[in-house]
Amino acid sequence: MEEVAARGERYLAALRDSLRDQPDLFGLRDAFVGAGGRLVDVLAELSVAGPDVFALPTDEPEGSRAAWFVLEFVRAVAADGGLVVDAVVRKAATRCAERILDDPGMRDAVDNATADARLSGDLLCAIFELFFARAVSELVRAIIAEKINLMVLGLVPGLRVVDPDGQIADWVAGKVMELVPNPCERAHELAERGLNVVEVARELIPESVDRALGVWAGEEPS
């Protein structure tokens, strides 16, 4: 496990240092901020209308409706581009959709067209954090697979680092999850402003991206 953590730290440090030198590197920040905005839009709609927001077909078998939900969720959050960063966002969005379906109430609403469920505030906040954590971990997967120019990150190509079980990527996700602010907790801290969780989440997008990428330079919340 120590080796996994050491490799994970190495990739995060390389990413952080490269972004500090080249803020526009690979278009990462803009892509993550844009996807974060679309994510919050979708989560807000799911908290009001539930899975009906995607107009899921009522005549599909249960498994097909779940697959349809994942597809529509990813379409709503991710861009259609063919760049590595676009693929990273799509994979992160897929993990978020799958996490939503792990919730019994939401899964029942998807599988059973007559069921009524809404995305809870706690789940909304958990998905918000998960998205940015998984976006960075999927980025690390791409780096390990050398789908990204390693020289740009100050890494040496051809090291043959393998991560077949995703241990390094999962470690990175857990590490980044600790850094991304939770909108529910921040909303409680900012209660005097009277903002709801969705409004707070939207405000937190740039900060969350910078924290996830290791380049946050702002003030810590009091």
pLDDT tens digits for range 28-75: 999 999 999 999 999 999 999 999 898 877 777 656 889 999 999 999
- Rounded CA-CA distance 7/13 in Å is 10
| Model pTM above 0.85 | yes
pLDDT tens digits, one per residue of 151-210: 555 554 544 566 667 888 899 999 999 999 999 999 988 777 888 999 999 999 999 999
Question: What is the mean pLDDT of the segment spanning 131-145?
Answer: 90
99 band by pLDDT with thresholds 50, 70 and 90: very high
The span from the first CA to the last CA of the chain, in angstroms, equals 34
126 band by pLDDT with thresholds 50, 70 and 90: very high
pLDDT of residue 61: 65
| Domain locations in the chain as residue ranges | 2-212
Question: What is the mean pLDDT of the segment spanning 107-114?
Answer: 84
77 band by pLDDT with thresholds 50, 70 and 90: very high
pLDDT of residue 176: 96
Residue positions counted in the chain: 222
Judge whether 51 and 39 are in contact, CB under 8 Å.
no
pLDDT of residue 104: 94
- Rounded CA-CA distance 172/45 in Å is 29
Judge whether 221 and 211 are in contact, CB under 8 Å.
no
Tell which phi-psi region holds residue 180, choosing left (phi > 0), alpha (psi between -120 and 50) or beta. beta
Q: Which two tokens stand for residue 93?
A: 């969005």
- Rounded CA-CA distance 106/108 in Å is 5
pLDDT tens digits, one per residue of 84-94: 899 999 999 99
- Rounded CA-CA distance 100/216 in Å is 28
